[in-house]
Chains A and B, each alone.
Chain A
Amino acid sequence: MTDHVTRLYVLAASILALFLGWLGIAAQPWASSKPSAQAQSPALTSLERRLNQDAALLAQVGAARRNAPQTVRVVTLPPLTTTRTS
């Protein structure tokens, strides 16, 4: 009888331990271990600023290239047609 009760207690304790372990894993305690935003802020802000500057420069260069056809130059050939005020 005593052995039977003991086995029941051990089984209940095992289930409880398993449940608590599962809860612990589900809580993902490692997820909160990343550094705070405040600690990374200066480096990230600097990187973000540099990337924004590069993007703006790229946009300016892109716009200038879009404005200019790849090949337009002054030549000494006689024209085939003429542009004029339209």
Chain B
Amino acid sequence: MLHRSFRAMGTEMELLLDADSNAPLAGAEEELRRLESLLSRFLPGSELSRLNAAGSLDVGPELLELAELALAARERTDGRFDPTVHDALVAAGYDRPFDLLDPASRPVDTPRARCAGAVAVDRHAGRIALEPGYRLDLGGIAKGWAADRVVAFLSESGPALVNAGGDVSAAGAAWPVGVETPAGTLTLELEAGGIATSGRDRRVWQRDGEERHHVIDPVTGEPATSDVLTVTVAATSAAEAEVLATSLFLAGSLERAAAEADAKAIPAVVVGAGGEVRLAGGLS
């Protein structure tokens, strides 16, 4: 089993490939770095940053596809997953790469940001236009999408798995993937598709003495409050798993998240702030 790990897209990347040659892993790393250079909201020269600065831009096929995917996810989740939470994240204090955030209080005089902004994607013209006053943050879906893209490339050489900072995409074999819970690590076996976790156990910082996290509730424009600590979801792709995990996290409570996962047959591990662990959506 070949293994490669490195840092990209603001997180740890891990590639596993059951093959003889390391060459595909090098190609996969290169692709992930290329995608970061296009999609990061923290790199001033990225395509996404230029779009956010200009409000309207002719973009390449990657950003076009990802924006369409994110907007379709917003539609499908009744607005819970929203790619226009950029300014809400900044208002909450997440205005630079997480590694550079001051974990202590760093008050920011930013008014409460609005979410659910309009985004026009013109596939034929290759152009994206944002409603004035809104900017895109694709951090909620880009890593899963990138993992799916790279695993498709790697799986041409053999069974493969990509773990993009917790967003796991796998193909070609049964892969045991761990889920951290207060009761210990639970292992899910995944043959194809993706697993992702959304929560407030990581990417947490302080602002004005209050704990803040990166999962924005588009209804309030603030970090979500509920008794859910994390939601892990398995789906047909890592990107879809990310969307569903965020959507369930924003269900409002542990009970609602588990009930919704059951009703929609979404395999999920829901962990409550008190340490409760619920398996839902067919997992047992």
Contacts and interface: CB of A to CB of B under 8 A. Distances in A.
Interface string B259-284: 00000111100000000000101111
Contacts of B195: 72, 83
Contacts of B161: 80-81
B190 A74 contact: no
Contact of A81 (B163, B283, B284): B163
Contacts of A64: 264-265
Interface in B147-189: 161, 163-168, 174-180, 185-189
B202 A81 contact: no
Given A80-B161, A83-B232, A69 B190 contact: yes
B39 interface: no
A83 B235 CA distance: 13
B180 A84 contact: yes
A37 interface: no
B218 interface: no
B contact patch SS: strand
B128 interface: no
A contact patch SS: mixed
A75 B187 contact: yes
A68 B282 CA distance: 9
A64 B229 CA distance: 25
B196 A79 contact: no
A26 interface: no
Interface in A62-84: 63-84
Interface in B1-32: 11, 14, 16
B84 interface: no
